[in-house]
Amino acid sequence: MSDQNIQLNEDGRLKHFLTIDGLNKTLLTEILDTAESFTGVSERTVKKVPLLRGKVICNLFFENSTRTRTTFEVAAKRLSADVLNLNINTSATAKGETLLDTLRNLEAMHVDMFVVRHADSGAAHFIANHSAPHVSVINAGDGRHSHPTQAMLDMFTIRRHKGEFTGLRVAIVGDIMHSRVARSQILALNLLGTSEVRVIAPRTLLPAHVRTMGVHVYHDLMEGIKDVDVIIMLRLQKERMRGALLPSEHEYFQLFGLTQARLAAAKPDAIVMHPGPINRGVEIDSVVADGPQSVILQQVSFGIAVRMAIMSMTMGAQAQGGAR
């Protein structure tokens, strides 16, 4: 079954959110517009809307990521859902119980949504294919494959600062080969009509098929970020690397690290992004990460609204009036 068939209901609305692939510009724009309606919730005295009251959302994290799990948890609670956080290291799966047995037991507790993070590509698809019909699945990152909610919060951040995607030049810098975030970002940027998407990396950190993804490839940082509107720095995925793909972190920073001097090659109003966590002094200098052009902390804040939007849309709740 294709991603598109898995992800969409018969009426074309989201059932699961597993990958950007197979979606269209209209649906991505609806996610961004719905997220916009939720941005004001954090400013309220009572930071909640009742859209998912009575629903149970389970954070099913087979791979550690405190920040991503926490933002999903905050998003679910702001939608008034009940949240289960399953610690896989101490769960039955670590004692030999199969993943399907774990799913069936959770479904018996009337779980309505699984937010899945897993080191294996395709894990979220597997769970979506084997879950009960009423259950929605959101991919919170699977192997090297996809991280669609991160891509959408990045798109939201770009739209907040730059308006339309048409006319923008966006550069993605770093470990493209191992980055599920980069794959999702490239798909989303192209679907939303970005004029030019550039990837900048050493040859050893680029997948062989990268040019087929609709990007322009650069191996020189200064040349690649010249006159761009948005720079997205990626974390070096050291835990996913096999073999000596880099001479050293120091040499990587000398060639591909973003410093204030190098940032001057981009447009004066260019914004700097990073999906985090940042390796300071490896991918980016602290002066830039904490500087006026950095929107890295805004990405984290916007992530809550975007994940609220995706949760509410996959469960059919946004039609009840958004965050009004």
**How many Å separate Cα 319 from the centre of its chain?**
24
CATH classification of 3-146+301-320 is 3.30.1340.30, yes or no? no
CA–CA separation, 136 vs 34, rounded Å? 18
Q: Does residue 1 register a pLDDT over 50?
A: no
Mean pLDDT of 83-111: 76
Active-site residue identified among 45, 66, 90, 95: 95
CA-to-CA separations, 264 to 33, 157, 226, 232, 279, in angstroms, rounded? 32, 21, 8, 15, 21
Q: Is 147 assigned a catalytic role?
A: yes
Is 68 among the residues known to form the active site?
Answer: yes
310 vs 13: CA distance, rounded Å: 11
Helix (H) or strand (E) holding 85: strand 82-87
pLDDT tens column, 135-186? 999 999 998 889 999 999 999 999 999 999 999 999 999 999 989 999 999 9
With tokens 């068939």, the residue in question is: 5
From CA 86, how far away is CA 116, in angstroms rounded?
10
**Quick check: is 95 catalytic?**
yes
Given 19, 34, 68, 157, the catalytic residue: 68
Q: Residue 117 catalytic? A: yes
- Let me know: does 275 contact 150? Beta carbons within 8 Å: yes
Contact 56, 84 (CB under 8 A): yes
Query: Out of 16, 78, 117, 198, which one is annotated catalytic?
Result: 117
- Residue identified by tokens 């119980």 is 97
Q: Write the DSSP symbol of residue 8.
A: B
| Mean of pLDDT over the chain | 89
Mean pLDDT on 213-227: 97
Task: Report pLDDT for 65.
Answer: 80
**CATH fold for the domain made of 148-298:** Rossmann fold (3.40.50)
Section 106-118 average pLDDT: 92
Both tokens of residue 232?
A: 């997205």
Q: In the predicted model, what is the mean pLDDT of residues 50-61?
A: 95
CATH 3.40.50.1370 domain locations along the chain: 3-146+301-320, 148-298
Task: Look at residue 309 in the predicted model and tell me its pLDDT.
Answer: 97
Q: Which of 147, 169, 180, 274 is catalytic?
A: 147
Answer yes or no: 66 catalytic.
Answer: no
User: Are 193 and 163 a contacting pair, CB within 8 Å?
Assistant: no
Q: Which of 67, 110, 134, 238 is catalytic?
A: 67
Could you tell me which residue, 178 or 42, shows the higher pLDDT?
Answer: 178
Task: Give me the pLDDT at residue 240, please.
Answer: 46
State what percent of residues in the chain have pLDDT above 90: 69
Residue 307 near residue 75 (C-beta atoms within 8 A): yes
Query: Cβ of 302: how many Cβ atoms within 10 Å?
Result: 24
pTM of the model: 0.91
pLDDT reported for residue 237:
67
pLDDT tens for residues 9-40? 988 899 999 999 999 999 999 999 999 999 98
Average pLDDT of span 200-209 = 91
Answer with the residue of higher pLDDT: 322 or 233.
233
Q: In the 8-state DSSP scheme, what is residue 46?
A: S
Interval 307-318 mean pLDDT: 89
